[in-house]
Amino acid sequence: MVGKRLSSVLSHAANAISAFVDQWDLAMSAAGEDRSSPSAHALLPARLVAGYEDFLGGRFRREQDRYGQLAKTGQKPKVLLIGCCDSRVSPEVIFDAGPGEIFVVRNVANLVPPYAPNDDLHGTSAALEFAVLSLAVEHIVVMGHASCGGVRAFVDNAGEAPPPGDFIGHWMSLIKPAAERVGPPEAPLDLYAERLAKASIIHTLANLRTFPYVRERETHGQLALHGAYFGVADGRLLALDEKSGEFLPISEAAHAKAFATPRF
């Protein structure tokens, strides 16, 4: 009798546990979790996981056909944009670009070293080569921005040799020719850094033209080079007029409208 009663209790308990597991599986499935693998939040930062889920339910859902087509046919962007790795100046956001529209290279202070065909490791030059020779982009845009930490680091350490192992200091030495044209640092340093950042864009365009395939394609009208400067605080975009050397505002009417329209 006791045996039958114990067997019945165990049976009910097993059924309850099984039902609980089934409900847990359904809950985890609905939440997009897989119990057989570690929590997604343990593998990636929670903000990225949440953003990815929003992407799946939003932009990816709307542009799924576009992604599928790109997977089949490959990318064919018309523009190579060389920008800064600063998290505040994402080119895809600033230019409202869809997938496959812009080939983006980002590094500290949006610099390009001069052509140097040696055995060193040239990440930016490799990306440039791929964009021009393989993708056949039609435009190269060098986009700097206000409050650039790389440019300010160069200004704050002007005249000092970078210590061994200082990658940023050695990298930022690429703007020395631009600094020589601008002149020595002078107060206010924020304005000086802005002038230097713009001069660096002009110098980077000159460095781009040291690459034979860039120079050749530009000469034959197959490639156009541009300079741009983005204001982080005010969202103003300036573009370089190489004839005058001045950076001129782009889309002033749209910019004025953005600030005239109440946000809330």
Can 86 be counted among the known catalytic residues?
yes
Q: Which residues pair with 226 in a beta bridge?
A: 141
Can 145 be counted among the known catalytic residues?
yes
| Options 145, 152, 203, 217, the catalytic residue | 145
Edge-to-edge strand list for the sheet holding 139-145? 102-107, 79-84, 139-145, 224-230, 237-241, 246-249
Neighbours of 162 (CB within 10 A): 15
Alpha helices in the chain (DSSP H): 2-30, 40-43, 46-57, 59-62, 64-73, 91-94, 123-129, 149-156, 167-172, 176-182, 189-208, 212-219, 252-260
DSSP string, 36-79: TS--HHHHS-HHHHHHHHHHHHTHHHHTHHHHHHHHHH----SE
| Token pair of 239 as six digits | 């573009």
Q: Give the whole-angstrom CA distance, residue 87 versus residue 82.
A: 14
Q: Which residues pair with 144 in a beta bridge?
A: 229
| Options 59, 66, 88, 209, the catalytic residue | 88
Indicate left, alpha or beta for 238 from its phi (over 0: left) and psi (-120 to 50: alpha): beta
| Options 84, 152, 203, 217, the catalytic residue | 84
Catalytic residue list: 84, 86, 88, 145, 148
